[in-house]
Structure 1
């Protein structure tokens, strides 16, 4: 044994080949923590001290290679100043360069996921062989940083600037075939042939069949690009990537600049440029929030995993109610491997549901993600039916009929008599109380909410709503099914609107108050989109549908009359909102091509919003005054109610943690990810400053803006939602 550590061992075989193996003790995956990097430095020194080695294989004893750096350390490390971060990265560069400079050929055997720092380790060696099931990539830009351990230097020299920009700026995970085509790896083989392939490369290099020194020289020299080639490679890419990433995500464009600046430099000089840019990005609020987002996502997935471990997998599902929503649920279930019955009382509704599923599968086939045969097989996992004939063998049913409590109660009561006593019943309701829907059920312990967001195939969140009598088994089975569908489930407790809609409608309430003060809804939309929302509130209401918004607003008004009484609309006159006025004038939004905007079909057949003077004139009718508000005042009037309601949901126990609350808003309604969520947004502003802002607004605008007593105490003692 040449070296033995907690995460790394180095051993030598009889032919003089050393094997450096990553196998982090007490962990399911390999991560590059500070301690592991220190061990790697010690292991490399031990290798340098060996005089008779003929080659080195770097591999992993786990199912993955290395998933990347230990992100749980990032917040603590990134609190240090830029000089510390530059020096830290330069120390890692020295270790990685020492691997690259070893006096014998080297190869990495990539058996599984090799991302971030794991990919950068692999780039240090002369050759790479990859299992056909493995993934390779540099996703650092998704965390608001860039590859800081040589990725911006080595990858362009290996696969060319254009390809490297695509990988790094896009933060993509790349399949083995793509990596081989690009030249990032030298061979792709089945996993059980990986070791032999790695040793074969070393043997050929030792015999002189492969010139590893020439390969190494190419990796450590400046990029061979002339001025015109550089301009085409970098300037064009910067413009394109800036347009895709948007103004709030600087890392993708910064990574291109780093590659460009280092293109004509030696290895060490290019690495110094990379280290400095990494340190600068690591200190940004965007990086802090995106790292926090990653950690929250891991916590949410871990919680869901614990629920799912408690029950057997769902083998057969069913959805009641076809149409667009039912078809979307059926598609999602079938596409991820769980067969599903789709029941309706009308043949035409079943055909509509099947049409929706076929359309979604066809899009997958067009993109090359499915073959025609695979599409046909997955579509066969959806079985339409007009009867309950086969419902005796269903594990879980999703009720997705019209959002009407009486209809849902009748359907659920009828359904319960058609299924096994152990079958889990769920309702895809967005607002109706789970306890209310359960009141006539014989087995309320087997019932919970399963709220999908539209469009089902795109929106990652599923709210799993626990009623007063819902059993742990019902919650666990529903979470397990949501995970099997590729969704992120978050368990919440029952209340009007549950979590996401309860938080969203005070945001709409803030919008309605702005309209009454004479604000221009187009200006508000542009401001909130600039703030980071995918669409402004007026546009979002058009997408949601004014009828849906009015119905949900009435539920919120009934449930929280003091704060949200005005959301119910009311009769024409003083209390009427812009939303209610749109509804009464049959301006429902995209569903009938007129709302706050008018809608025309674009070239792809999708609705495109256009300015509608009739809508502008209509909204002016609700204005009771004309206040001159600054951009900051408008943003505060929109964001404060949303953030306060998130706080109340946490205080009321509707959601279990700040992390789950923030992730639900990001995944469910598109809260700007770079801001980290509503509670992290309050932390960033400062709890005391947020409370002061809320109190000023509450004096003028009422209870919707009033901070809670707990929040006031947090402001007084300097507490935060995140440590």
Structure 2
């Protein structure tokens, strides 16, 4: 907080120097927000100018131009709602940034507002980041650097507003969204599965260019920040709280109608000296002995950065320049002011955005996004089947891994193998994955026990009369698989889909052993199941569109990216 409160003047000095000249003109293009500002402080010269210019230019423009931000106020606390018009998620493009800047210009002289909450109007998304198309055609490093500086400048305006700013992260928060939240004084989120926070820019061959490499290390410490910046890791609400990225997490059990009141309660608390002190104390926990030895003295910092550089080179093999440049941005930036650090960050962004690596990774990103939209049956107009219970045949490494993933996502799982010893090994496999999550503090022991309780074992088909999806993961021998499929066909309900985890055998041959070939397909997971992001959905000769679409949607529901392939040797 001391650092946040000390916002350096040079960070936003160009705008601070010009705000009295530029604000009225910007306000004239923002009729809705200007009227609200006028109502609150009609005595201010800027507000009067807005009222005069509004009738001349605003009515026609407001009908043509969508508004992405809505500002309201209650009991002296402003609520700035970002709800991008015509989009399912919020992203930053030039139009959005200009409107955000206009809102900041309206608020910069507002001394009556006690606090400002920034949140999203989307149900499961806060801000997805910047529009990737904004960088794909850049060939001049100076142009890339300019984009970095422009985003930094506007976020600097937000950071320098006179009232405390609170980011309520109510959904996915990536890249520029995380960087804007770091420009706020406080961050609060909710413990929901759709809340993921990260700085994934290195996955696109660039670095966080709107303050991420500078503000995050100053907030949570260098060592923790590097883990985010160099890996593109996405974290949930609980880890964000542990690491100090957010200041409070609203429990998942709170009803939806009580969530926003909980945010206002947090705001009222941090506006008091005692509440502010509690946040300060929690943040200062990072200043322990280890932090002092590694981060608070030149020798310790050198060791820290040297080790980070070695690990980065080991991982990237030197083929990806972005992580190394990001590391350098943090190292140089932490030895100077925030303003100068931001300049270093923008310069490195310009250098990276024109590299072939960046261009290729952006292409990969777009292909992946297109793949996510492909359900494997574009002509299918029906609804995907919803699976409630899953059966797994085979309790080996793959079977146990699949059972663990199902249980982790909340599905009751019935796992079958030929004897209890095999079942025990499958349970052990699932338990080992959960134990690793507990060790990394991604799960609590109680949660692990609850999830393990969703997995049950059997040596016969008892319980399979209740499943609506079976995933077969037994030995890779076609005759054995066909025998098992024939047994399943007689056991499971008529609507149940039977999927094979085979990596090479013909799915159509397995389907021929059943009387429901239209409900048979392949669902091939890669090992280790809990880490590998892709699954193959294999369409057999007679697999129905409904079956394929249902498996694709199910794959997405468990956090995987599905690739639909034809049933051919090796797929």
* Bin of the TM-score, shorter chain as denominator length: 0.7 to 0.9
Partner-residue secondary structure (3-state), 1:429: coil
1:658-677 equivalence runs, <5 A: none
Partner-residue secondary structure (3-state), 1:342: strand
The answer to whether 1:45 aligns with 2:116 is: no
Match of 1:537? none
Greater displacement, 109-118 / 147-156: 109-118
Partner-residue secondary structure (3-state), 1:145: coil
Q: Output one character per residue of 1:434-473: Cα deviation in whole Å (capped at 9) or x when no partner.
A: 2233334322112112223333333332211112211112
Please state how far the C-alpha of 1:14 moved relative to its aligned partner. Answer: 5.6
Please state how far the C-alpha of 1:52 moved relative to its aligned partner. Answer: 4.9
Pick the aligned partner of 1:57 from 117, 120, 129. Answer: 117
Please state how far the C-alpha of 1:276 moved relative to its aligned partner. Answer: 0.8
Q: Find the aligned partners of 2:95 and 2:419 in 1 and give their Cα distance.
A: 63
Pick the aligned partner of 2:186 from 116, 127, 131. Answer: 127
Pick the aligned partner of 1:111 from 164, 170, 175. Answer: 170
Q: 1:90 to 1:374 in 2, by over 3 A?
A: closer
Say whether the 8 Å CA contact 1:107–1:198 is kept in structure 2: no
Q: 1:284 to 1:51 in 2, by over 3 A?
A: same
Give the structure-1-normalised TM-score. 0.61
Say whether the 8 Å CA contact 2:118–2:167 is kept in structure 1: yes
Q: Find the aligned partners of 1:327 and 1:469 in 2 and give their Cα distance.
A: 29
Say whether the 8 Å CA contact 1:334–1:381 is kept in structure 2: yes
Larger radius of gyration: 1
Greater displacement, 440-449 / 66-75: 66-75
| Number of residue equivalences | 486
Q: 1:369 to 1:90 in 2, by over 3 A?
A: closer
Say whether the 8 Å CA contact 1:19–1:58 is kept in structure 2: yes
RMSD over aligned CA atoms reads 3.4
Structure 1 unaligned spans of 5+: 216-223, 499-723
Q: Find the aligned partners of 2:186 and 2:420 in 1 and give their Cα distance.
A: 59
Partner-residue secondary structure (3-state), 1:166: helix
Pick the aligned partner of 2:323 from 247, 252, 261. Answer: 252
Pick the aligned partner of 1:98 from 157, 162, 172. Answer: 157
Match of 1:145? 206
Q: Output one character per residue of 1:482-512: Cα deviation in whole Å (capped at 9) or x when no partner.
A: 33444322211222221xxxxxxxxxxxxxx
Say whether the 8 Å CA contact 2:119–2:126 is kept in structure 1: no
Q: 1:350 to 1:67 in 2, by over 3 A?
A: same
Please state how far the C-alpha of 1:126 moved relative to its aligned partner. Answer: 3.0
Match of 1:349? 422
Q: Output one character per residue of 1:26-49: Cα deviation in whole Å (capped at 9) or x when no partner.
A: 223221122211211222222236
Structure 2 unaligned spans of 5+: 1-31, 35-61, 252-258, 284-294
Say whether the 8 Å CA contact 1:59–1:65 is kept in structure 2: no
Pick the aligned partner of 2:385 from 296, 312, 316. Answer: 312
Please state how far the C-alpha of 1:167 moved relative to its aligned partner. Answer: 2.7
Match of 1:195? 263
Pick the aligned partner of 1:35 from 90, 95, 100. Answer: 95
The answer to whether 1:85 aligns with 2:153 is: no
Q: 1:258 to 1:35 in 2, by over 3 A?
A: same
Match of 1:8? 69
Pick the aligned partner of 1:159 from 220, 224, 231. Answer: 220
Q: Find the aligned partners of 1:211 and 1:434 in 2 and give their Cα distance.
A: 57
Q: 1:229 to 1:349 in 2, by over 3 A?
A: closer
Q: 1:244 to 1:308 in 2, by over 3 A?
A: farther
Please state how far the C-alpha of 1:129 moved relative to its aligned partner. Answer: 3.4
Q: 1:314 to 1:274 in 2, by over 3 A?
A: same
The answer to whether 1:454 aligns with 2:527 is: yes
Give the structure-2-normalised TM-score. 0.75
Q: Find the aligned partners of 1:400 and 1:410 in 2 and give their Cα distance.
A: 14
Q: 1:268 to 1:368 in 2, by over 3 A?
A: closer
Q: 1:182 to 1:468 in 2, by over 3 A?
A: closer
1:603-618 equivalence runs, <5 A: none
